[in-house]
Structure 1
């Protein structure tokens, strides 16, 4: 498909100055969302993540065990949306969470650089799904985006989407910190959606610049514009650097203001986090909580 031509149907991104102005405005509004109710929802939208070179069957099992224990320890708080791990640990998590409604997310497709053969990417995604992953997070080829090879970047997503069942949620990470400009962030978001993404996600968390409110504003505007043309709702995921309850409330506000209340469900809004989980629990409970 000639994706670059499809981009012509959409207007340009806001300027950096316009984005900064909107972020400032939304930051002021976000104060109203620093509430227990919003923090509780944000906790339920977390993809509880461990993506370290030190991960092991033992450490991942312990994280999953704690997530399952949460149901009994905090029955008044909806549990996290999913556990996010590398592909070899999908079965490990599956065994640990069996009998619960916990979803399993796996990064795949050459995460975090996306620099491998497309066949390898598709195979890794397929193996993660075969082992029990409900959701897959892949990385858009940033090198191709930076050099203007938009059709090639989007076609990779299309190929991987074709290899997955429709009930598997596909999140595409655009690595917004590497793209830097509002225009490239907008194009990457639109290309991902046009190629079949169910979510667009800010970051891998593996480079210096992760999720930013500025990138979130641009991405959510692209999601809105895509919905207005296609009628298909695509979700937004902020990941990398989301640590405090105030961070979570700001991203919640960006989604609320740009996309509206229909997007404030865990089917369309996620937060990729590890440290944020305890910090949100502390805010919800009103005293220090170090559960994970």
Structure 2
């Protein structure tokens, strides 16, 4: 197995929204805001090469939305999904599977693109199977008013209309060790219904793709929960249980949204689970 970090493009989000009820005087220490109160955010995806299978976890925002839409998110840097794939010697047509942790636009927007004549949408990975789960798909395609702006039809429905969509089998418990993919999956419901958190065995280590269960290293303290979470009081025990397990078992946490701390480990302290070590992508993957 080989793993490749795929940088799909950086952007910014409102720091207050990212940290909910936590005062700026606290979160600004780890995630400093600019003059507009915006903080740096990454869309860091992960490519898994194993045998003939090439699996991409999440796809970032994509590039098909309007300039007005992107104007809300202050995109910065030179990363794109396609250029990052190319950097590692791959083309979108090589991807066999696209696994979406959840269907918010900043996680699945790159899964779908305009067709050649600009009259409609098509999957950006024409040879890939797209993976969601049945409960989250229903949640996203029949959205509540609070999340509706994050579930964009043009990002979601073309996957099903193309016939390329499949659903991961959902276990009776919150963790699926065996499934259709090459990694374990933790199901969590605090951020959005049935978000999926991949656990990948890699060179004797467990690498966990954190998605929005832990957006940045600054979110390690339990009360530091995003304002975007639909069930923040459920995020608390989900995060607490996961972080204790991560500290006890020395998991490596791949942070999708932390622009400056790509991979971290955590440790138990008198104040709870806290940061242990920050690793660069080169340090972990080489």
Shared topology, TM-score over 0.5? no
Q: TM-score, normalised by structure 2?
A: 0.31
Which structure carries more helix by proportion?
1
Structure number with the bigger relative contact order (C-alpha 8 A, sep ≥ 6) is 1
